[in-house]
Structure 1
Amino acid sequence: MSDPKPLLFALYEQASVGCGGAPSLWTHPADERLAINSLGYWSNLARIADQANLDMLFFGDVLGFYDVFGGNADAAMKWAVEAPANDPLMIIPALAAVTENLAFGVTVTTSYEHPFTHARRFSTLDHLTNGRVGWNIVTSYLSSAARNFGLEQMIKHDDRYERAEEFLDVVYKLWEGSWANDAVIADKTRHLYAQGDRVRPINHLGEHYRVAGPHLTSPSPQRTPLLIQAGWSGRGREFAAKHAELIFIAKSNPREIRQGLEDIWAKAQARGRQREDVRSLTVLRIVTARTEIEAQRKYDVLQSNYHLQAQLVSYAGDTGIDISRYADNEALSTHTEGLTSYVMHPDGSGKPLTAGDVKQRFAKVTRGSDLILVGTPQQVVDRIEEHARLSGTSGYMINPLISPGSLEDFVELIIPELRKRGLYRTQPHSGTFRSRLRADGASHLPESAYGASFRFDNTPR
């Protein structure tokens, strides 16, 4: 049997008090999330993650309050459900300055951003981080976000993906096709920064966007940031197979994960990509201590600070369904533009959940189908090892239950056990984010990537 390969490990975060997953646990006495407005809070997390050789610090994000439950945002404000929502793009450069190797991922929607300004921001981030940045591509599902951008209602699910496809075409043209590799000379003696004939407009004219260009920023270390995506629907898998280099999986059943990954890999291969071009991270929560009794005690304290209503507020926002208006035995509506997979029975029957099913699912510290492990380091790593073997996942996204305590426990207790088994890197990564995930160590998109077709020398002038 071959030696095990190290898994990928990342830390999930949001620039909000009530972080997604178990948003009411900021009420735990040991949690420090009330300090999210402080740079010191974020710098501390980043330094811990960097020194522990984590692969990525990832920021989720939302552009509206969770105002579906009860028909308003009152409960979301009470429990700080993914609120307040500061801008993570403003935090990352500061964290890059206090870390050496840690990579950063950040969620930015294609639904309400403009591709021209988006491309400039990410090129700037890629420069400032020396290529340590990835973009989590999402299509926004909150109706409150739609209203914040002047729309009367949310863009429909499949229409959001069509808009995203054009958005990607525009940013690829800017990142890959506007500046040639040899455009920048930066020669003081010749008084020549860039060759004008090697920088060109993109003149994009589409259904949703008109963008002249050229791109305002010179080519960054990766050009296109590492592309991350989390869609698990049929349309989401097609999108992942076409664009994604790293996908997030909010499922726990390893066989279901394996089936979904095989589907995405097959679709990617049909596009000329390789299986290894698409890596994955499965969402994971861990409660651990040196003894089973202590681990269970930690879990019980978490449970005593966990509040079901906060979780139902989050569920209502995610799905667009006001669960407060349903009787426990009443089946939920499947006519929603939110996250429809959250409404269906996990048994594959195609039946919707009842409100009582949802309340039972969220009665304890867990988020629906996400993976939560409670036990000693040996017990937790046993489960991780087996889960990774069965699921085929490349690694795990640690979703902290309390901060920074969950990260500190992972570093102190879990990482040493992972290292004993060859499941965690012993040396820090260097180079760009993309180069770390690719067998060939390349910083730029491979030739087989869809985005590579837009390169300066691949397209007519």
Structure 2
Amino acid sequence: MSDQRPLRFALYEQASVGCGGAPSLWTHPSDDRLGVNSLDRWRSTAIVAEQANLEAMFFADVLGLYDIYRGSASAAVEWAVEAPANDPFVYVAALSALTERLAFVVTASTTYEHPFSLARRFATLDHLSKGRIGWNIVTSYLESAARNFGLDAMLDPQDRYRRADEFMEVVYKLLEGSWADDAVVADRERRVYADGGRVRPVDHAGQDFRVAGPAVTSPSPQRTPVLFQAGWSPRGQQFAAAHAEVVLLPKKDPTEIRRGLDNIRQLAQAAGRAPEDLKSMALARVITAPTASLAQAKYDDLQANYHLEAQLVSYAGDTGIDLSRYADDEPLTTQSQGLSSYVQKSGAGQAPLTARDLRERFARVTRGSDLLFIGTPDDIADQMRDHASASGLDGYMLNPLTSPGTLEDFAEQVVPALAARGLYDTDPKNGTLRSRLRDDRSDRLPSASAAGSYRFS
């Protein structure tokens, strides 16, 4: 029996054909992602996730096509790299009605949304799902998205995060501060739905937003959806420390993860938050089979259906670096300080990477930087236990290599092995998403959170 608490698990998804870190694997004969437009396909996935007692289904999202590789979006469309990008809010509205316990996390951008309309949408979903909603807060990174919203270029990171901070302030004012807890009376005899004196405008006037308020939705079970955030830059960690309840990490090295989480929690504590109020999950891939040799054979089968060019399209969109323009021996360069990790080798001297280095790194279905657990179910349970212990993580978000195979293998084979070690909570999930994540089982953000000072007193 492990002395660790049970780990938390969720499923990473995108409302697209090419999902996650190996976007070409929709071409695998067993993959069902060509059914992206079918509600039946998504209902089946959600039911498996719910029956496995996962915490949530997490929907990543983009608002533009990857158009850096070879100078256009043609390759992204051909390989379905995070395309087509359907609206996850619509999926979640349907799926929350088809499930009872599974929670849903929706990605929404503080750069291209408006806080009033987004707060309204989240409050409505929170009502309809009985509090099973989270928000993955992003500032967005694609130049194509900026052009889709009428901008000539993407805002620089500092402006995006400044806007995001104000965006959060407006959302808190609307969802936490414009309706008192006792505002809704719902009294037929008196013909009073809500006490007008307990609903107030927010009258926000800032650099990016002017919002009169109040919110046009009544208080939902959680008020504010559970806040997820994945930024890992110094500014991203500051934002997480101020707002995040769950930090999502696309990282592998346990020492790097622990160092970053310690820094975020220290920043949160300095802001008056309790460090334990921040949970963490890492993006992970799982390949399992009854024997190690069968697991390796499954990996080899995935490799046989993997295509390098699709990954290079994704890399170009993520970084702005188009490897199609580089000869093998040519060193990569970038003027962006934030992308320095993409073009430098680790170790003494920090020599620039060459295009050949990157092509070799991406030649395998799971890159060296990806967190991969491979082996028998017992092997994977032990690997997860040891990695979580070393990194300080609270859990993992499963990034499926094939659908529904990755999820089904995890549910049928790995969950029992984790449960046998005390690392998986097999009890059906109850209550709001926030109450499941918090030690005090509260549906609401704590008073010491960034939202607390905006509450109706």
Same fold (TM over 0.5): yes
CA distance in 2 between partners of 1:415 and 1:445 (Å): 30
- 2-structure distance, mates of 1:337, 1:441: 41
| 1:383 counterpart residue number | 383
Name the structure 2 match of 1:22. Answer: 22
The code of the aligned residue for 1:390 comes to A
Deviation string 1:164-209 (CA, Å, 9 cap, x unpaired) is 0111111111001111111110000100001111111111111111
Q: Which residue of 2 aligns with 1:168?
A: 168
Number of aligned positions between the proteins = 457
The alpha-carbon deviation at position 162 of structure 1 amounts to: 0.7
Q: Assess if the C-alpha contact under 8 Å between 1:176 and 1:451 holds in 2.
A: yes
Q: Map 1:296-311; keep pairs closer than 5 Å.
A: 296-311=296-311
Q: CA deviation at 1:270?
A: 0.8
Residues 372-411 of structure 1 mapped to structure 2, 5 A cutoff: 372-411=372-411
Matches within 5 A, 1:4-403: 4-336=4-336, 341-346=341-346, 352-367=352-367, 369-403=369-403
Q: Distance in 2 between matches of 1:97 and 1:351?
A: 53
Length-normalised TM-score, structure 2: 0.97
Q: Return the offset for 1:374.
A: 1.6
Q: Report Cα offsets for 1:100-125 as digits up to 9, x if no partner.
A: 21111111011111111000000001
**Unmatched segments (≥5 aa) in structure 1:** none
Distance 1:115 1:345, change over 3 A: farther
Unpaired runs of at least 5, structure 2: none
List structure 1 runs of 4+ shifted beyond 6 angstroms.
none
Deviation at 1:347, TM superposition (A): 5.0
Distance in 1 of aligned mates of 2:107 and 2:404? 21
2: distance between equivalents of 1:296 and 1:278?
A: 36
Q: Give me the whole-angstrom Cα distance separating, in 1, the residues matched to 2:172 and 2:340.
A: 30
Deviates further, 347-356 or 363-372: 347-356
Check 1:455–1:350 CA distance in 2 against 1; reply closer, same or farther (3 A cut). farther
> Structure 1 stretch 373-382 or stretch 329-338: which is displaced more?
329-338
Q: Secondary structure of 1:426's partner?
A: coil
Q: What is the one-letter code of the residue matched to 1:130?
A: K
Letter in structure 1 aligned against 2:318: D
Deviations 1:196-235 (A, max 9, x none): 1111111111111111111110000000100000000000
CA contact (8 A) 1:320 1:336 kept: no
Deviation at 1:342, TM superposition (A): 3.9
Contact between 2:250 and 2:282, CA under 8 Å: does it hold in 1? Answer: yes
In structure 2, the CA distance between the partners of 1:348 and 1:167, relative to structure 1 (3 Å rule), is: farther
Change (3 A) 1:264 1:350: farther
What is the TM-score when the length of structure 1 is the normalising length? 0.96
Look up the match of 2:3.
3
Deviation track 1:320-355 (CA, whole Å, cap 9, x = no partner) reads 222221223333233249766444445596655332
In structure 2, the CA distance between the partners of 1:368 and 1:422, relative to structure 1 (3 Å rule), is: same
Code of the residue aligned with 2:20 in structure 1: it is: G
- The letter for the 2-side match of 1:284 is A
In 2, Cα distance between equivalents of 1:143 and 1:151: 9
